[in-house]
Structure 1
Amino acid sequence: MTLNDKGELAIITAWCGDPPDGVAVYRHGDKLIDQAVIRAPAALAVAPVTVSLENLPDEWSLVEGDLDFRKDQVYKVTAYSSKARVSQGGTNFTLESKEKIPSGQIMIQHHGNDDLRFGTDVFLSTTDFTEIAKHYC
């Protein structure tokens, strides 16, 4: 997660090979509940790509669900590829995450040896995020 230049919550995703063809958003409850499915444009250019979850760019389309986020609700967002049948690890967030994410930084979660349900927030520069993403290729 990051903030775009308008201060909106946005997903940032990087990839190797075929680009993702969409983004899925889930609500946390007893289990993950579908919140929204967003279709990516047919031809994504160079990675990484940033997409506002508060004001979708014209070339992205909401396929199902909604992007009406509620205060104090935890969500998970992840990019996916139906061709590869995989999704990226995803990031958990709330509307309050806007206050936590430093300008120009990307929030990911580290799931180490902690007992935290949603992991520990870690903030990276775009360069560091892109370098770390290469290790998953």
Structure 2
Amino acid sequence: MEAELTALAASGATAFVGLMVTEAWTQARGRMARFLARGEDVDVVDAELEESREELLAARRNGDEDGAADVTAEWRVRLRRALRDNPGAAEELRGLLDELAPAHSAGTTVSVNHNTIHDGTYNGPVIMAHSIHDGVHTPPEQGPGTR
């Protein structure tokens, strides 16, 4: 059971810290603060969350991956303690995660980048991509005079 709560705390911290840099943060922050307060002053926890958000934003601006990871680690420890002190909170945390950070569908995701190719001769489509899954098919080879 301890391993399950540790995994839940880790996924919760990752989701919450991920939300810190989204438009959903305002809604998520209040819900998180109420969940984490549990006998503490909600405003104090809310201020701690906002301070963590500022640290995270500064770390990302400065390319400080360790600083960003520290924010996640801090909230992972806090969540693990909250779950250890109140194992019944696990269901509440799962519900909160489902509401605030729903699983993304496995559907197609599209990102648009604008790339430029200079020089050279290209006799067909040029595709620049990180990963391509399904839906991209290349035409049969066409040699000179086959058109």
Q: TM-score under structure 2 normalisation?
A: 0.27
**Bigger RCO of structures 1 and 2 (CA < 8 A, at least 6 apart):** 2
Instruction: Please say which structure displays the higher CA radius of gyration.
Output: 2
> Which structure: greater strand fraction?
1
